[in-house]
Structure 1
Amino acid sequence: MDSVTQAVFGAGIQGVMLGRQQGLRKALLAGAVLATLPDLDVLIDYGDPILGMINHRGFTHSVFILTAFAGILTAVMRRLWPSPDYSAARLFLTLWLVLITHPILDALTSYGTQLVWPLKPIPASWASLFIIDPFFTVPL
């Protein structure tokens, strides 16, 4: 899925879950940025373009890695910015949903993603959406 859709989807989730507590603009921006993080694996140099293509949407799109990252990020955020306005569980759920929807949206494309890496490195691909799909993105 394209980065714009990922960002809009993440912004929407965080805006709904924590918009009142964090301030709507801040929540939308944080959700948009967080939702695009899994695609930063394109910055990794695997030394070979073929390996880069194979490993893109790999470990950074794993539900296991993203769940652990949501937990770590929750702990760090609660330590740096403790807030009585929302619980750690609500923060974790928000961060987890923003992160986990990224590989799920990618799995809906023909390219797929390695959802359960390292257990099964074969990409899950349900091929029901185009990579760039305005009919999906615009209504968001």
Structure 2
Amino acid sequence: MTHDATQGAIRSSASRQVRIAWGVLSVFLLVWAVFEAVKYGGWVIAAVVAGIVVPDLSFLAGLSGPHQHGRLSPKAVPLYNLLHRPVVAVLVMLSCLIPDSPAVAIPLFNFGLVWLQHIASDRAFGFGLRTAEGWQR
């Protein structure tokens, strides 16, 4: 897909039904995460906050140098795309099965849960993966 710089950012071309499905999943995951944070407190709350923020830390990799509105620096795209793939968040959730300690496993699961919620909400709002040039696909 080519992109004309005068157009600005392009949002996802996903159908309305797909975006609604992502939205429903996002709300479900958010309710689940809030329930878990209230239930466990402590480190789970910290893990939930981290899960919201971590996927967008990839933007920091592209802060240096000039950029256009709506375009991510091409050097930040691989990290951004990796952190915005649902399979990565699911693998983090499944990694909670490795430690024997619930003190580690429960926050780890919730970190992945909110990370997945972040991705689902991005998709619901039309923000998907980026092209190699940094534009929305």
TM-score (norm 1): 0.48
Q: Which has the higher contact order (CA 8 A, sep 6+)?
A: 2
TM-score (norm 2): 0.49
The structure number with the bigger radius of gyration is 2
